[in-house]
């Protein structure tokens, strides 16, 4: 590797100059059992060194949302993502926040459909490294107009956050009927789907809801590893 380092570096410059996929792209991981890197918004990795901060549009939302995120954020830190819970700041769901901020706010039907929330990463970040994003929760969960089980609500909070880090839905045509269907995701020995499964993945008990499954953690670790691949180019 050392002997050919200069030659490889020169080749990379030429490759990039012609707009061809960089050499390191061949080594990044976009999918595995129970996880999927969305990639279509240009997010292919998570920084293992830069800090991420979860913030909220108001003190009231922070107080209401915090219990839903605590366990997952701790698991993400254990997996190597330098993410912490932050404070309150102005949120415009249509504008990307400062680098590394994951902003939570809520509006009525952010996806235009009842019961759906939205987690959007800032698109096309530098080197494909997740730069944060905005989670817009559907206000219907909180005014009683949309009935959602407590464990589903908690898993939804976490699901949308993981979208901002670059994970997509790991639904696959597992039964081979030619259609990728709702809930069609890998399951663990307990029958639990990834939090990122669409819709309503994650643990089904009050005690475990909001906790990442091993599938989701594998996805985050792939995103972190992808960042290290990018560093070598
Ligand atoms: Ca199917
Ligand atoms: Zn989703």
| Tokens 């997740």 -> residue | 130
C-alpha distances (whole Å) from 216 to each of 126, 203, 204, 233 are 24, 12, 15, 27
d(CA 7, CA 25): 18
Phi and psi for 97 in degrees, rounded to 5?
Answer: -75, 175
Q: How confident is the model at residue 26 (pLDDT cuts 50, 70, 90)?
A: low
| Domain boundaries 32-223, CATH class | alpha beta
What pLDDT sits at residue 20? Answer: 41
Chain centroid to Cα 24, Å, comes to: 22
- What number of H helices and E strands is found in the chain? 4, 7
Q: pLDDT tens, 184-232?
A: 999 999 999 999 999 989 999 989 999 999 999 999 999 999 998 855 4
Span from the CA of 177 to the centroid of ligand 1 (angstroms): 5
User: Shortest CA distance to 115 belongs to which of 89, 93, 147?
Assistant: 147
Pairing state between β 52-56 and 83-88: parallel
pLDDT cut 70: percent of the chain above it = 87
Report pLDDT digits (tens) over 29-84. Answer: 999 999 999 988 899 999 999 999 999 999 999 999 999 999 999 999 999 999 99
Domain boundaries, the chain: 32-223
User: Nearest ligand, CA of residue 198?
Assistant: 2
Q: Which ligand lies nearest the alpha carbon of 185? A: 1
Instruction: Please report the pLDDT score of residue 24 as a whole number.
Output: 52
Ligand 2: distance of its center to the CA of 167 in Å? Answer: 9
In the chain, how long is the greatest CA-to-CA distance?
A: 66
Ligand nearest to the CA of 175: 1
Query: What does the pLDDT read at residue 40?
Result: 81
Distance between Cα 183 and ligand 1 center (Å): 10
Cα 168 to Cα 15, 42, 196, distances in angstroms: 29, 12, 7
Q: Which of 202, 219, 128, 118 is nearest to 164 (CA)?
A: 118
Which structure tokens are listed for 183?
Answer: 């809930």
Q: What is the pLDDT of residues 153-166, one digit of tens each?
A: 999 999 999 999 99
Contact 196, 215 (CB under 8 A): yes
* E strand intervals along the chain: 31-32, 35-36, 52-56, 83-88, 101-107, 118-121, 132-138
């Amino acid at each position: 590797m050392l002997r050919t380092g200069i030659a490889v570096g020169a080749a990379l410059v030429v490759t990039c100059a012609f707009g061809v996929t960089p050499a390191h792209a061949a080594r990044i991981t976009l999918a595995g059992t129970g996880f999927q890197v969305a990639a279509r918004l240009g997010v292919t990795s998570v920084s293992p060194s830069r800090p991420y901060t979860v913030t909220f549009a108001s003190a009231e939302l922070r107080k209401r949302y915090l219990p839903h995120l605590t366990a997952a954020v701790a698991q993400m830190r254990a997996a190597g993502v330098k993410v912490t819970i932050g404070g309150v700041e102005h949120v415009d769901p249509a504008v990307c926040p400062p680098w590394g901020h994951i902003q939570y706010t809520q509006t009525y039907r952010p996806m235009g459909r009842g019961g759906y929330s939205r987690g959007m990463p800032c698109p096309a970040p530098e080197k494909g490294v997740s730069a944060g994003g905005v989670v817009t929760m559907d206000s219907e969960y909180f005014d009683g107009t949309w009935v959602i089980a407590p464990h589903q609500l908690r898993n939804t909070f976490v699901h949308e956050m993981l979208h901002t880090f670059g994970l997509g839905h790991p639904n696959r045509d597992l039964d081979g009927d030619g259609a990728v269907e709702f809930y069609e995701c890998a399951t663990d020995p307990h029958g639990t789907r990834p939090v990122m499964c669409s819709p309503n993945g994650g643990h089904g008990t009050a005690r475990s809801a909001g906790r990442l499954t091993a599938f989701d953690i594998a996805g985050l670790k792939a995103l972190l590893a992808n960042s290290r691949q990018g560093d070598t180019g």
